[in-house]
Amino acid sequence: MEKLSIKNPSNLRTDFLGVKFPNPVVLASGILGMSASSMASVVRNGAGGVTTKSTNLEGQDGHPGPKVITYESGMLNCYGLTNAGFWHEKKEIAKFKKRLPQNPLIFSIFGFSLKEFQAIAQKVDQTRADFIEINISCPNVQSEHGRPFGCVPGMPQKVIKAVKKLTKKPIIVKLSPNVVDIVEIAREVESAGAHAISAINTLGPGMVINLETRCPVLSAKAGGMSGPAIRPLAVKMIYDIYENVKIPLIGIGGVTTGQDALEMIMAGAQLVEIGSGVYYRGISVFKRVCNEMQEWMRKQGVKSIKEIIGAAHD
């Protein structure tokens, strides 16, 4: 097992909306977020915090397999928001927080209507989650449920205002890259009262066709794109959002190395999330990214990761 070069390195410590993180590298939603045990193993492998998989009140089945495939430089998935519902997730969150009280947990929630968002939002204060993440950006359920709210200007603010009335927890809104102008959506999200923004969710969806069988490989035909191929897009989006809103940002998309994480932070992210990186570098990706960030910081004489947030801006 890979070791952190320094145990609990103080130079990586950070905080987000007043909550302390041992390091800024966090597990993204939908990856290894099945149970308290799977999230705890991610923390054991170096993550500062975790995000649960997206949950709605009643739970749902999602799509059949193949659900995940990779291509030369990225990954496609069509999970379709499989989850066991609020009551199950509440227990897993409690179990996680009992084991790891020092590692913040982001509870990702979704709904296909304002009503469904309200139904889960009014329950979230019963959990020990540190933050709520509103997922308005999953591209994998469009054929059944229409365009995600995050892609329809005017909708994010309705969701945020409705959710905000029902919970005291800090609200992070996860944005979709599949929009004409992400800055416009980010501004709307900020003015509706969200406390933070995370970006980006998966791109597309994209498609891979198998030649011999002349048929798309994913069961849902298409799937959201993630991994290294989307990183420059994610960096640019964080960069642009940072220039235009004041609320803190979580950078997500294609991060697999310490350099990638630093780049995201320089673009303006306070925290960085990793999803597909678990495939590219194994579950110890979190530790490795922390080690690589520290090595760079040591060489550059950077004492705290907080010093370089937004450093790429003029």
Ligand X SMILES: Cc1cc2nc3c(=O)[nH]c(=O)nc-3n(C[C@H](O)[C@H](O)[C@H](O)COP(=O)(O)O)c2cc1C
Around Cβ 65, how many Cβ atoms within 10 Å?
10
> Among this protein's residues, is 151 annotated catalytic?
no
DSSP letters spanning 239-285: HHHHHH--S-EEEESS--SHHHHHHHHHHT-SEEEESTHHHHH-TTH
Kindly state the smallest distance separating residue 28's Cβ from ligand X, in Å: 3
Site membership for another protein, residue 112 (CB under 8 A): no
Length of the chain measured in residues:
314
User: Taking the CA atoms of the chain, what radius of gyration do you get in angstroms?
Assistant: 18
Characterize the bridge pairing of strands 222-226 and 249-252.
unpaired
Contact pick of 23, 45, 176, 202 for ligand X (by CB under 6 A): 202
Task: Note whether 226 and 204 are within 8 A (CB).
Answer: no
Site membership for another protein, residue 228 (CB under 8 A): yes
Structure tokens at 229: 């191929």
**Considering only residues 42-61, where is the footprint of ligand X by CB under 6 A?**
53-54
Site membership for ligand X, residue 183 (CB under 6 A): no
Contact pick of 53, 90, 174, 195 for another protein (by CB under 8 A): 53
Stretch that binds ligand X, among 144-152, 153-161, 181-189, 275-283 (CB under 6 A): 275-283
Residue 31's nearest CA partner among 179, 252, 222 is 252
Contact pick of 22, 23, 26, 30 for ligand X (by CB under 6 A): 30
HSE on the CB side for 23, CA within 13 Å?
30
Site membership for ligand X, residue 79 (CB under 6 A): yes
Distance from C-alpha of 301 to C-alpha of 148, rounded to nearest angstrom: 43
- The DSSP symbol for 2 reads P
Nearest residue (CB) to ligand X, 30 versus 248:
30
Nearest residue (CB) to ligand X, 119 versus 302:
119
Summarize as ranges the residues that interact with ligand X (CB under 6 A): 28-31, 53-54, 68, 75, 77, 79, 81, 108, 135, 138, 174, 201-202, 226-227, 230, 252-255, 274-277
Catalytic positions: 138
Summarize as ranges the residues that interact with another protein (CB under 8 A): 30-42, 44, 53, 59-62, 64-72, 75, 77, 79, 82-85, 88, 208, 210, 212-213, 215, 217, 219, 228, 256-257, 275-276, 278-283
